[in-house]
Amino acid sequence: MTGTDDEHYFSADPSVPFERIPVSTTVWDLDLSLVSGSGVFAKGRLDIGTSVLFKETEPPALKPGARVLDLGCGYGVIGLALGLAVPEAYVTGVDVNERAVLLANENAAKLGLGDRYRAAVPAEIDPAVTYDEIWSNPPIRIGKQALHELLLTWLPRLAPGGRAVMVVGKNLGGDSLQRWLGEQGYPTERIGSAKGFRVLETRRA
């Protein structure tokens, strides 16, 4: 993230002028034509961490009606790829950035996923809903304490036997996060590693 984006991205309503920026990428053999924007993480490109997440994983095999959470969804690339690759799944994106939520929902409509993908800010998410899987490139830069609070808010919403798949930079604490998750009762293993990033799979016992 550039200095400007870093300053504004974690705001609920970024103050930088809003400019929509196209993003074209291929993940899981899917060609995605999306729109990102100023004040939203990784504007105009697929960031390296998310790219590693896709390259080190395959679309999950889920039962019809399965629910997936895209935690820290940004403009929606992870959740939208999941929605396209797994037509049985219903995907919820969540982000504190209202601009990101707007873009994610616009991208879902553009891809014809408006009936199976919805992005919202945390306060709009039903706290009673559980998820079969959580996928995330979590916002490490918010700091360790805030990140731990974030994960301990959403990981308990995994259904029994559910899992979370996350990509974390090694130099940003990927290995220590793996240990910490295990200590919190969420067994976690590394399922991929590339370009300085770890892909972690966390299970709810």
Average pLDDT for 137-145 = 82
| Token pair 């995994």 in the structure block, residue | 158
Mean of the per-residue pLDDT values of the chain = 86
Cα separations in angstroms, 121 against 35, 48, 85: 19, 25, 24
Collect all residues with Cβ–Cβ distance below 8 Å to 28 and sequence separation of at least 6: 54, 58, 59, 81, 85
How much is the pLDDT for 7? 38
Domain 47-203: top CATH class:
alpha beta
Per-residue confidence band for 5, with pLDDT thresholds at 50, 70 and 90: very low
How much is the pLDDT for 10? 44
Sort 28 into a burial class: Cβ within 10 Å, 0-12 / 13-18 / 19+: middle
Beta-bridge mates of residue 169? 197
pLDDT single digits (tens) 92-123: 999 998 888 999 999 999 999 999 999 999 99
Is the overall model pTM greater than 0.95, yes or no?
Answer: no
How much is the pLDDT for 38? 64
pLDDT surpassing 60 at residue 148: yes
Cα separations in angstroms, 26 against 32, 36, 43, 52, 92: 6, 15, 16, 12, 21
How much is the pLDDT for 141? 74
pLDDT single digits (tens) 30-69: 999 998 876 565 555 688 899 999 999 999 999 999 999 9
Q: What does the CA dihedral 44, 45, 49, 53 come to, rounded to 10 degrees?
A: 120
The tokens for 1 are: 């993230």
Domain ranges of the chain: 47-203
How much is the pLDDT for 6? 39
- The answer to whether the CB of 160 falls within 8 A of the CB of 21 is no
First to last CA, the chain: 35
Average pLDDT for 152-159 = 96
DSSP helix, strand, coil percent of the chain (3-state; round to 5): 35, 30, 35
How much is the pLDDT for 42? 56
How much is the pLDDT for 37? 77
